[in-house]
Chain A
Amino acid sequence: MSIWEYANPVKFLRASGVVLPWIVAGAAICTVGGLVWGFLTPEDYRQGSTVKIVFLHVPAALMAINAWLMMLVASLIWLIRRHHVSALAAKAAAPVGAVMTLIALITGAIWGQPMWGTWWEWDPRLTSFLVLFLFYLGYMALWEAIEDPDSAADLTGLLCLVGSVFALLSRYAVNFWNQGLHQGASLSVAPGERMSAVYRYPLYVSMLGFFLLFLALVLIRTRTEIRRRRLAALLARENRA
Chain B
Amino acid sequence: MKALLLRDLRLAVRAGGGFGLSLVFFLILCTLVPFGVGAEGGQLSRIAPGILWVGALLACLLSLDRIFALDHEDGSLDLLATAPLPLEGAVAIKALAHWLTTGLPLVVFAPLLGVLLHLPTAAYPLLVLSLALGTPALSMLGAFGAAITVGLRRGGLLLSLLVLPLYVPTLIFGAEVVRRGAVGADPTTPLVFLAGITLATLALVPFAAAAALRVNLR
Q: Which residues of A contact B (CB under 8 A)?
A: 131, 134-135, 137-138, 141-142, 145-146, 151, 154-155, 158-159, 161-163, 166-167, 169-170, 173-174, 176-177
With A and B bound together, what is the CA distance between A213 and B152 in angstroms? 35
B212 on the A face (CB < 8 A):
yes
Interface residues of chain B: helix, strand, loop or mixed (majority) = helix
Contact B158–A159 (Cβ < 8 Å): no
Contact B215–A154 (Cβ < 8 Å): yes
The smallest beta-carbon distance between B218 and chain A, in angstroms, is 7
Contact A162–B144 (Cβ < 8 Å): yes
With A and B bound together, what is the CA distance between A154 and B208 in angstroms? 11
With A and B bound together, what is the CA distance between A163 and B212 in angstroms? 14
Contact A173–B168 (Cβ < 8 Å): yes
Stretch at the interface among B81-89, B94-102, B169-177: B169-177
Number of cross-chain contacts by CB at 8 Å: 75
Q: Which residues of B contact A (CB under 8 A)?
A: 144, 148-149, 151-152, 154-155, 158, 161-162, 164-166, 168-169, 172-173, 176, 189-190, 193, 197, 205, 208, 211-212, 215-216, 218
Contact B193–A134 (Cβ < 8 Å): no
Contact A166–B158 (Cβ < 8 Å): no
Instruction: Please give, as numbers and ranges, the residues of chain A lying within 8 Å of B148 by CB-CB distance.
Output: 142, 155, 158-159
Once A142-B148, A151-B216, A158-B212 are accepted as A-B contacts, the answer to whether A173 and B165 lie under 8 Å apart by CB is no
Contact A131–B216 (Cβ < 8 Å): no
Once A131-B168, A161-B208, A162-B208 are accepted as A-B contacts, the answer to whether A145 and B152 lie under 8 Å apart by CB is yes
Once A158-B208, A159-B148 are accepted as A-B contacts, the answer to whether A134 and B165 lie under 8 Å apart by CB is yes
Closest B residue to A167 by beta carbon equals B165
Instruction: Please give, as numbers and ranges, the residues of chain B lying within 8 Å of A155 by CB-CB distance.
Output: 148, 212, 215-216
Once A141-B161, A145-B158, A176-B193 are accepted as A-B contacts, the answer to whether A158 and B169 lie under 8 Å apart by CB is no
